C-alpha cells in the first residue's frame, strides 16, 4: 500500500462516518465537562459520605454511620420538612406568573415599561431580595408591622417566629420566581394561535372556559419549563435563607442545602462525611424530579 | 569571605541602629497570612509588617490579608497546600484541630525565653495544648457589661455588686419602660457570652471548663441551676424583644436610643457605640456581678494569636517575627486607642489612656482570680459550640423547652467528645 492509498482510505473512513463523527466531536467538550464537573463529584460525594473526615487529617471509614446519624438527627428532619414546604409553596409561582402574564398581555401605551417593572425582581440579586424582605419584616421598624399596626393588628415577628419564618422566606422567594414564570408565559402567549382564539370566541367561549380549554393547552411547553425551573429553584434555595435568617431561629428555617453547607463548610462545621451524606440525600430527592423531567421530555420527543 | 561577612554584619548593624537592637540577620522572604481585614486592624497589620521589614534589610516581608470570615475556611486549605511562614488564628480549642493534624509548629522554645515567659504568663494557658505552646497572642479584650450611665443615674441606680442588685436594677428599669439588656442572637454567639458568665458565676471557672471540655453531662443539676438563674432574667423580660432577629450590631440602636440600658459585650462594642454618638460620660462599664459569693470571679477575654505553620519555610524569621509581635514596645503601639484599641498581652507594655481599656485591664489583672476563659465557641469544640449556642438562643425565646434542649445537648456531647 502506498502513502497516497492510505491517505485516501483515511479520508473515506472519515467521509463514510461523518454522520457519527461530527456529533461526537460537538458533544465531546460538553460530555467531558459533564463528566468532570458533575458525574465525578457526585461519585466522590457518595464516597466521602462513608467516611468521617474533617478535611485535614486522614479520613476514617465509618460505613453507614453518617446515614444512621442522619436518621436520628432532628435538624435533618426539620430540613427535609422545610424542603417539602418549599417545593409545594414555590409552585404558587406558576399560577401567579400566569395571571400577571395574562394581565400584561395587552397593548396599552407603556406596556413595555410595566412588563420590565414586573420582571425587575428577577433581575436583582437574591441577596438584595433577602435584605429588602428582612427590612420589610423587621419587628420594630418594618413596613409590615407598620401596616398591620394601622389596621389594629398586633406586631408580628415573621422571621423570629419558628412557626412563620420559613413561610416568610418562601414569600420573599416567590417575588422573583413569579416574575420568572411571568416572562416564560409572556413568551408563550405570543405563540398562542389567534385563529384558534377567534374560533373559540365564535363558539361562545370566554373567561375561564376560554383560558382552561383554549389558552392553557397551547401554553403547555411554557408550563413545563416553568415547572422545571420552579422545582429546581425550590431545591436550590440557599441564599435567601442565609441572608434572612442564617438558618435560625434555632435552626427552624434550614433546608437540606443550607444544612449541608453548615455541616461541611460553615464556621463550626467541617464534618465533610456528614455533609456529603446530606448532599447525597438531597441528590436522591432531586433525582426523582430529574428522572420525571427526562422521562416526560423523552415522551414528548417520541410523540413529535 | 571574611570581609564579605563583616560587611553584611556591619550593614545589618547599621540598619538595626535606629530601631531596637537586632543582632540576628535574617534573609529570604517571610510570608504572612493575616485575617486582620477590618480597616483599623488592617492598618495595624500593614504597619507591623512594614516595621519588621525595615528592621531586617535582607528579609523581604510578604503580607497577604484575607477577609476575616473567608479566612476561617481558607486557613484549612493554605495550611496544607501552601503554608505561609506566619498565620493568624485564635487561642484555646479553636486551634486544636490544626495541632492535632500536625499543622502548627510547637513554639514552646519561644515561651521558654525569659522575656516571653515572664511577661506573657497571663495568656500562656490559652496557648497551651498538651503542655506545649503553639503560638503567641497579640491582643485580647475584656468582656463585661457596658451600660448607659446617664440612664442609670436618672433612675438612681448603682453598678450592681451581686445578682440581687442586678435584678433589682433591672426591675426599676423595666418599671420605667426600659429594657435592661440589649442583645442580638441572630448569629447565636452573643447568647454564648451570657451562658459563659452566668455559668462561671453560678458554678465557677473549673466547672465551666469541665463542661466545655465535655467532662460533665449537660443534664447535670448544676447546669440546670445556671439556666434557672438565666431564666429569672428572661421571665422578668430583661432582654429586648425579638432579639433572635438581630445581629449584635443591629441591637446596638436599642442601647443608643435608650430603649435598653446595658449590653453584655466585648470591648469591641465601644467603638460603634461612640460612633453612634454616645459620649464617655454616657457610657459606663462594670464587671459581671457575682452570683455565688464563694466563687472567685472569672472572666471571658478572647485572645487573638499568631502561629507558625509546620510547613513554613522560613521558621527562623517567623520566630523572630513572633518575638517582635509580643515585644513590649510593639504591644503598646498596636493595642493603642488609635490602633486596635484593645489590651496588650505583654505585662511590660502600657495600656492606652482609655477608660474602658483601663477598667478592663484592671479587672483582668486584679479582679479575675478564678481564671480567664476564651469564650464559649473557643473553649468548646466547634461542633458542640454550634449545637449548644443554638440551644441557648432557643432557651432565651422559649425557656419552657429547657428539658428538650438539654437532652439534645447531652446527646451531642456523647457523640462529639
Nearest Cα neighbor of B142 from B371, B302, B348 is B302
> How high is the pLDDT of residue A10?
59
Closest-approach residue (CA) in chain A for B93: A268
Residues of B in contact with A244 (CB under 8 A): none
> How high is the pLDDT of residue A9?
59
Scan for cell 436518621, then name that residue. A71
Residues B181 and B264 in one domain: yes
Return the C-alpha cell found at B138.
497579640
The predicted-structure confidence for B172-198, as pLDDT tens digits, reads as follows 999 999 999 999 999 899 999 999 999
Residues of B in contact with A262 (CB under 8 A): 386
Residue A1 lies in a domain: no
Task: Give the mean pLDDT of B42-64.
Answer: 93
Q: Where does the pLDDT of residue B13 fall: very low under 50, low under 70, confident under 90, or very high at 90 and above?
A: very low
Residues B171 and B212 in one domain: yes
List for chain B the helix, strand, coil content (%; round to 5): 50, 15, 30
**B143, β-bridge pairs:** B266
A·B CB contacts under 8 A: 68
**What gap in Å lies between CA B297 and CA B373, rounded to an integer?**
11
Verify cis geometry, omega within 30 degrees of 0, for the bond prior to A229. Answer: no
3-state secondary structure of B207: helix
Distance from CA of B415 to the nearest CA of A (A): 10
Is some CB atom of chain A closer than 8 A to the CB atom of B408? Answer: yes
pLDDT at residue B3 tops 70: no
Q: Where does the pLDDT of residue B111 fall: very low under 50, low under 70, confident under 90, or very high at 90 and above?
A: very high
Q: What is the CATH number of the domain that holds B157?
A: 3.40.190.10
Instruction: Count CB atoms within 10 A of the CB of residue A156.
Output: 15
B242 Rama class: left (phi>0) / alpha (psi -120 to 50) / beta: left
pLDDT at residue B6 tops 60: no
* Residues in contact with A276: Cβ distance below 8 Å, sequence separation at least 6, in sequence order: A45, A46, A48, A49, A66, A264
Residues B153 and B135 in one domain: no
pLDDT at residue A2 tops 60: no
B177 Rama class: left (phi>0) / alpha (psi -120 to 50) / beta: left
Residues B86 and B169 in one domain: no
Residue A115 lies in a domain: yes
**What gap in Å lies between CA B168 and CA B162, rounded to an integer?**
10
**What gap in Å lies between CA A177 and CA A228, rounded to an integer?**
12
Q: Give yes or no for a contact between A188 and A222, defined as CB atoms under 8 angstroms apart.
A: yes
Residue B371 lies in a domain: no
Return the C-alpha cell found at B362.
484592671
> How high is the pLDDT of residue B125?
85
Length of chain A measured in residues: 304
Nearest Cα neighbor of B352 from B361, A169, A234, A70 is B361
The predicted-structure confidence for A238-280, as pLDDT tens digits, reads as follows 999 999 998 878 889 999 999 999 998 887 878 899 999 999 9
Distance from CA of A57 to the nearest CA of B (A): 6
Query: Are B241 and A139 within 8 A, CB to CB?
Result: yes
Q: Where does the pLDDT of residue B24 fall: very low under 50, low under 70, confident under 90, or very high at 90 and above?
A: low
Query: Are A248 and B397 within 8 A, CB to CB?
Result: no
Residues B260 and B248 in one domain: yes
> How high is the pLDDT of residue B17?
41
Is some CB atom of chain A closer than 8 A to the CB atom of B103? Answer: yes
ipTM for the predicted complex comes to 0.80
Residues of A in contact with B397 (CB under 8 A): 160, 249-250
Residues of B in contact with A69 (CB under 8 A): 415
H-helix or E-strand spanning residue A275: helix A272-303
Q: How many CA atoms lie within 13 A of A167 on its CB side?
A: 6
Considering only residues 111 to 140 of chain A, which have any Cβ-Cβ distance to chain B shorter than 8 Å? 138-140
Residue B374 lies in a domain: no
> How high is the pLDDT of residue A7?
55
Range of the domain at A159: 51-303
**What gap in Å lies between CA B348 and CA A30, rounded to an integer?**
65
What is the domain count for chain B? 2
Query: Are B97 and A270 within 8 A, CB to CB?
Result: yes
Interface test with A, best of B70, B77, B78, B245 (most A CBs within 10 A): B245
Q: Report DSSP letters for B135-152, one per residue.
A: -EEEEE--EEEEEEHHHH
Residues B175 and B317 in one domain: no
Q: Report DSSP letters for B249-299, one per residue.
A: TTTHHHHHTTSEEEEEEEGGGHHHHHHTT--TTTEEEEPPPBSSTTSPPEE
Task: Give the mean pLDDT of A179-199.
Answer: 91
Residues B70 and B158 in one domain: no
> How high is the pLDDT of residue B23?
44
- Residue B390 has its nearest CB partner, among A69, A138, A251, at A251
Is some CB atom of chain B closer than 8 A to the CB atom of A267? Answer: yes
Is some CB atom of chain A closer than 8 A to the CB atom of B196? Answer: no
Range of the domain at B219: 143-300+381-416
Residues B314 and B340 in one domain: yes
Residue A277 lies in a domain: yes
Phi, psi of B107 (to 5 degrees): -115, 30
Residues of A in contact with B394 (CB under 8 A): 249-250
Is some CB atom of chain A closer than 8 A to the CB atom of B72? Answer: yes
Residues B284 and B217 in one domain: yes
pLDDT at residue B94 tops 90: no
Q: Give yes or no for a contact between A231 and A87, defined as CB atoms under 8 angstroms apart.
A: yes
**What gap in Å lies between CA B20 and CA B55, rounded to an integer?**
8
Q: Where does the pLDDT of residue B327 fall: very low under 50, low under 70, confident under 90, or very high at 90 and above?
A: very high
Residue B367 lies in a domain: no
The rounded mean pLDDT for chain A is 89
Residue A147 lies in a domain: yes
Residues of B in contact with A267 (CB under 8 A): 69, 72-73, 382, 386
Q: What is the CATH number of the domain that holds A129?
A: 1.10.3720.10
Residue B70 lies in a domain: yes
Local structure of residue A35 (DSSP, 8 states):
I
Q: Report DSSP letters for B58-91, one per residue.
A: TEEEEEEE--HHHHHHHHHHHHHHS--SEEEEES
Residue A22 lies in a domain: no
Q: Which residues of chain A form beta strands (DSSP E)?
A: 51-52, 60-61
> How high is the pLDDT of residue B10?
46
Residue A21 lies in a domain: no
Q: Give yes or no for a contact between B201 and B388, defined as CB atoms under 8 angstroms apart.
A: no
Return the minimum-mean-pLDDT range out of A24-28, A243-247, B16-20, B37-41.
B16-20
Give the percent of chain A with pLDDT over 70.
96
> How high is the pLDDT of residue B369?
87
Local structure of residue B371 (DSSP, 8 states):
E
Is some CB atom of chain A closer than 8 A to the CB atom of B393? Answer: yes
Considering only residues 290 to 349 of chain B, which have any Cβ-Cβ distance to chain A shorter than 8 Å? none
The predicted-structure confidence for B342-380, as pLDDT tens digits, reads as follows 999 888 888 888 889 989 988 988 888 888 899 999 899
The predicted-structure confidence for A68-86, as pLDDT tens digits, reads as follows 999 988 899 999 999 999 9
Residue A287 lies in a domain: yes
**What gap in Å lies between CA B151 and CA A271, rounded to an integer?**
47
Closest-approach residue (CA) in chain B for A65: B415
Q: Give yes or no for a contact between B391 and A250, defined as CB atoms under 8 angstroms apart.
A: yes
Residues of A in contact with B386 (CB under 8 A): 262, 266-269
Local structure of residue B19 (DSSP, 8 states):
S
For A221-248, letters b (16+ CB in 10 Å) and e give: ebbebbbbbbbebbbebebbbbbbbbbb
Q: Where does the pLDDT of residue A304 fall: very low under 50, low under 70, confident under 90, or very high at 90 and above?
A: low
> How high is the pLDDT of residue A88?
95
Residues B356 and B327 in one domain: yes
**What gap in Å lies between CA B411 and CA B417, rounded to an integer?**
11
Residue A2 lies in a domain: no
Residues B15 and B32 in one domain: yes
Query: Are B397 and A139 within 8 A, CB to CB?
Result: no
Task: Give the mean pLDDT of A105-127.
Answer: 89
Interface test with A, best of B70, B244, B379, B388 (most A CBs within 10 A): B244
- Residue B76 has its nearest CB partner, among A56, A157, A245, at A56
> How high is the pLDDT of residue A4?
53
What is the domain count for chain A? 1
Is some CB atom of chain A closer than 8 A to the CB atom of B69? Answer: yes
Q: Give yes or no for a contact between B212 and B376, defined as CB atoms under 8 angstroms apart.
A: yes
pLDDT at residue B12 tops 50: no
3-state secondary structure of B397: helix
> How high is the pLDDT of residue B20?
45
Amino acid at each position: 500500500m502506498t502513502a497516497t492509498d492510505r491517505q485516501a482510505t483515511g479520508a473515506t473512513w472519515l467521509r463514510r462516518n461523518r454522520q457519527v463523527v461530527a456529533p461526537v466531536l460537538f458533544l465531546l467538550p460538553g460530555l467531558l465537562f459533564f463528566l468532570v464537573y458533575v458525574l465525578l463529584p457526585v461519585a466522590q460525594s457518595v464516597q466521602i459520605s462513608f467516611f468521617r473526615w474533617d478535611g485535614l487529617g486522614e479520613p476514617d471509614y465509618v460505613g453507614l454511620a453518617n446515614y444512621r446519624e442522619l436518621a436520628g438527627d432532628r435538624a435533618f428532619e426539620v430540613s427535609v420538612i422545610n424542603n417539602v414546604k418549599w417545593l409545594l409553596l414555590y409552585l404558587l409561582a406558576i399560577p401567579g406568573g400566569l395571571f400577571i402574564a395574562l394581565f400584561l398581555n395587552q397593548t396599552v401605551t407603556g406596556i413595555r415599561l410595566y412588563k420590565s417593572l414586573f420582571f425587575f425582581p428577577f433581575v436583582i440579586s437574591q441577596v438584595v431580595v433577602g435584605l429588602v424582605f428582612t427590612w420589610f419584616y423587621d419587628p420594630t421598624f418594618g413596613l409590615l408591622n407598620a401596616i398591620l399596626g394601622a389596621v389594629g393588628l398586633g406586631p408580628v415577628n415573621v422571621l423570629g417566629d419558628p412557626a412563620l419564618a420559613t413561610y416568610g422566606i418562601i414569600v420573599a422567594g416567590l417575588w422573583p420566581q413569579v416574575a420568572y414564570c411571568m416572562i416564560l408565559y409572556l413568551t408563550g402567549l405570543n405563540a398562542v394561535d389567534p385563529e384558534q382564539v377567534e374560533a373559540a370566541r365564535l363558539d361562545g367561549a370566554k373567561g375561564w372556559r376560554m383560558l382552561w380549554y383554549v389558552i392553557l393547552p397551547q401554553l403547555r411547553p411554557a408550563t413545563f419549563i416553568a415547572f422545571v425551573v420552579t422545582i429546581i429553584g425550590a431545591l436550590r434555595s440557599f441564599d435567601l435563607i442565609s441572608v434572612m435568617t442564617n438558618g435560625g431561629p434555632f435552626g427552624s428555617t434550614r433546608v437540606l442545602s443550607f444544612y449541608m453547607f453548615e455541616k461541611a463548610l460553615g464556621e463550626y462545621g467541617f464534618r465533610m462525611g456528614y455533609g456529603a451524606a446530606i448532599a447525597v440525600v438531597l441528590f436522591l430527592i432531586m433525582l426523582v424530579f430529574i428522572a420525571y423531567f427526562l422521562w416526560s421530555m423523552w415522551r414528548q420527543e417520541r410523540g413529535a | 569571605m571574611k570581609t564579605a561577612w563583616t560587611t553584611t554584619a556591619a550593614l545589618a548593624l547599621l540598619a538595626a541602629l535606629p530601631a531596637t537592637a537586632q543582632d540576628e540577620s535574617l534573609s529570604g522572604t517571610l510570608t504572612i497570612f493575616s485575617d486582620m481585614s477590618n480597616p483599623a486592624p488592617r492598618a495595624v497589620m500593614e504597619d507591623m509588617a512594614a516595621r519588621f521589614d525595615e528592621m531586617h534589610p535582607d528579609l523581604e516581608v510578604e503580607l497577604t490579608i484575607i477577609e476575616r470570615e473567608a479566612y476561617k475556611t481558607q486557613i484549612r486549605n493554605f495550611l496544607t497546600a501552601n503554608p505561609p511562614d506566619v498565620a493568624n488564628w485564635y487561642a484555646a480549642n479553636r486551634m486544636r484541630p490544626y495541632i492535632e493534624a500536625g499543622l502548627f509548629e510547637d513554639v514552646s522554645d519561644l515561651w521558654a525565653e525569659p522575656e516571653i515567659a515572664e511577661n506573657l504568663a497571663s495568656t500562656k494557658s490559652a496557648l497551651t495544648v498538651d503542655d506545649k505552646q503553639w503560638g503567641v497572642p497579640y491582643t485580647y479584650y475584656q468582656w463585661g457589661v457596658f451600660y448607659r450611665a446617664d440612664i442609670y443615674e436618672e433612675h438612681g441606680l448603682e453598678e450592681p455588686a451581686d445578682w440581687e442588685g442586678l435584678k433589682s436594677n433591672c426591675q426599676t428599669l423595666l418599671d420605667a419602660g426600659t429594657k435592661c439588656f440589649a442583645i442580638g442572637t441572630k448569629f447565636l454567639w452573643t447568647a454564648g457570652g451570657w451562658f459563659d458568665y452566668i455559668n462561671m458565676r453560678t458554678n465557677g471557672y473549673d466547672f465551666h471548663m469541665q463542661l466545655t471540655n465535655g467532662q460533665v453531662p449537660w443534664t447535670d443539676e448544676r447546669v440546670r441551676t445556671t439556666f434557672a438563674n438565666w431564666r429569672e432574667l428572661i421571665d422578668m423580660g430583661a432582654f429586648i424583644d425579638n432579639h433572635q432577629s438581630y445581629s449584635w450590631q443591629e441591637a446596638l440602636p436599642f442601647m443608643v436610643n435608650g430603649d435598653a440600658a446595658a449590653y453584655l459585650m466585648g470591648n469591641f462594642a465601644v467603638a460603634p457605640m461612640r460612633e453612634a454618638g454616645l459620649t464617655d460620660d454616657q457610657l459606663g462599664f462594670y464587671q459581671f456581678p457575682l452570683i455565688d459569693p464563694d466563687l472567685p470571679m472569672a472572666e471571658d477575654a478572647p485572645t487573638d494569636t499568631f502561629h507558625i505553620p509546620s510547613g513554613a519555610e522560613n521558621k527562623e524569621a517567623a520566630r523572630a517575627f513572633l518575638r517582635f509581635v509580643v515585644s513590649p514596645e510593639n504591644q503598646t503601639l498596636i493595642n493603642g486607642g488609635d490602633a486596635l484599641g484593645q489590651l496588650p498581652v505583654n505585662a511590660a507594655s502600657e495600656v492606652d489612656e482609655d477608660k474602658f481599656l483601663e477598667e478592663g485591664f484592671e479587672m483582668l489583672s486584679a479582679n479575675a482570680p478564678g481564671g480567664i476563659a476564651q469564650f464559649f465557641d473557643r473553649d468548646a469544640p466547634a461542633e458542640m459550640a454550634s449545637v449548644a449556642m443554638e440551644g441557648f438562643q432557643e432557651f432565651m425565646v422559649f425557656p419552657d423547652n429547657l428539658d428538650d434542649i438539654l437532652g439534645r445537648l447531652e446527646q451531642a456531647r456523647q457523640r462529639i467528645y
